[in-house]
Structure 1
């Protein structure tokens, strides 16, 4: 493989365009352990529901992926993606968690299974990053107390129990590649989780044709009553991660989400 163009940096790694010996273009990431990302992409591909880039090679500190040519976001692609996302979730998972150690950005993430989704979400997703943010000096003791109170409420306010869904786990707009005909998903933090988590992540930072995506999803897989009110609950984790990574800019949003959970 030959690197033909540097594409900049993302978090702790560098991005490149490469060429294989047979002339194929590939996307190359270097500078970190990409084992979890590769495992997540392959696991999502198993469902045969959503488009993900082929993992061509993963070794040491390098990940080589199929090159995806992007295009303009369209309503047709958004509608298709909503249906495909519903099919991915419906494919399911063996448990809440995943059989490999997880990562999100450059942070490690515990994927060990838990018997219920509330327990998994609180103990594997929210509290570890709340405590990391505290240890980095980005949350006060009072902030942590508020977030712990919100976590105590999760089992009561998370809605009807559902079996584990196969979810992307970091489904913000930057991880959606629009090809014109469909959406290709990249950079997963994939695991067995709650399907509302992916929808809440899409809502957190917005996405082109979001209403169309959600409408098509709900036609294919209706959501339990109150799902919109539960969006802040599912945003506790990504907001806590953002506080760990980027600091004060996301603190107020995280605390606001915690208050919304306490008000449910």
Structure 2
């Protein structure tokens, strides 16, 4: 069955046109134009149902996300939102949205399902302490995929995490892959898209957002004050997305990983 036919069957409405959109590492994305004049976003892929569950968890937390209109094996349909260039108010809205997300706590560190960024498996098994989660689920999985000297430094950092990270911070609901491409700005509003959710230290999302650029001051105005010591923890948290990029895109990211290890003190 074609994607157009799948969308029509899921919604019980006719589709006049399918327009391919830029997708991510896990799914193909298209905009379906309906015969009633509306539009929806269709995402197909092996893990889209997991994405739908994450979006619904974020929505339950009160966080602005596209509404999930349908979720089935290999296909989800999402509310279509008109995108506009970000301005000061929408950056404040993004900060407020992320702060609201982080106010929702889990019982432990992790998520009920594993996930992936393309071929890179993301392990989300629950851990009782935050340093154990970060070591076992976020850093050690890359030891066999990096040069030996870098692996030794990563293992040394894992051994030091109990002194570098809080043992039991609030297990906040995290977006898990927040960068400007996963924030959709619409007017003065901001929506979070393409999540990779789990529960952990809220500073993880902030570290990711700062990895490849500096959000404007309005973002932190919307988010609120940060905990003391966040700048020292930031390179430890940024190592995970840097290692993902190294695996996905190759040696051009080796220098970034090395710089973050240096800043982390190993």
Scaled by the length of structure 2, the TM-score of the pair is: 0.87
Partner of residue 4, structure 1: 18
Q: Is the 8 A contact 1:130 1:240 kept in 2?
A: no
Which is greater in Rg?
Answer: 2
Q: Is the 8 A contact 2:101 2:174 kept in 1?
A: yes
Work out which of the residue numbers 169, 180, 185 in structure 2 matches 1:162: 169
Judging changes above 3 Å, is the alpha-carbon distance between structure 1 residues 8 and 190 closer, same or farther for their aligned structure 2 residues?
Answer: closer
Give yes or no for the alignment of 1:213 onto 2:216: no
Work out which of the residue numbers 59, 74, 83 in structure 2 matches 1:61: 74
Partner of residue 238, structure 1: 241
Deviations 1:164-221 (A, max 9, x none): 0111010111100111221111111111011000000110122652x22123322xxx
Q: Is the 8 A contact 2:131 2:166 kept in 1?
A: no
What do you get for the CA RMSD once the two structures are aligned?
2.0
Partner of residue 255, structure 1: 258
Partner of residue 152, structure 2: 145
Write the mapping of 1:196-211 to structure 2, written as runs, cut at 5 A.
196-206=203-213, 208-209=215-216, 211=217
Structure 2 residues not aligned, in runs of 5+:
1-7, 9-14
Scaled by the length of structure 1, the TM-score of the pair is: 0.88
Separation (CA, whole Å) in 1 of partners of 2:242 and 2:190: 24
- Residue 117 of structure 1 deviates from its aligned partner by 1.0
Give aligned pairs, total. Answer: 252
Give yes or no for the alignment of 1:46 onto 2:57: no
Deviations 1:110-164 (A, max 9, x none): 2121001111111111211343xx1xxxx21111111111222221112474220
Judging changes above 3 Å, is the alpha-carbon distance between structure 1 residues 58 and 158 closer, same or farther for their aligned structure 2 residues?
Answer: same
Work out which of the residue numbers 85, 89, 109 in structure 2 matches 1:76: 89
Separation (CA, whole Å) in 2 of partners of 1:147 and 1:114: 19
Separation (CA, whole Å) in 2 of partners of 1:261 and 1:63: 40
Give yes or no for the alignment of 1:228 onto 2:234: no
Partner of residue 5, structure 2: none
Q: Is the 8 A contact 2:26 2:117 kept in 1?
A: no
- Residue 257 of structure 1 deviates from its aligned partner by 0.9
Q: Is the 8 A contact 1:153 1:262 kept in 2?
A: no
Give yes or no for the alignment of 1:177 onto 2:180: no
Separation (CA, whole Å) in 1 of partners of 2:256 and 2:54: 28
Q: Is the 8 A contact 2:94 2:183 kept in 1?
A: no
Separation (CA, whole Å) in 2 of partners of 1:113 and 1:12: 23
Structure 1 residues not aligned, in runs of 5+:
none
- Residue 9 of structure 1 deviates from its aligned partner by 4.6
Judging changes above 3 Å, is the alpha-carbon distance between structure 1 residues 24 and 107 closer, same or farther for their aligned structure 2 residues?
Answer: farther
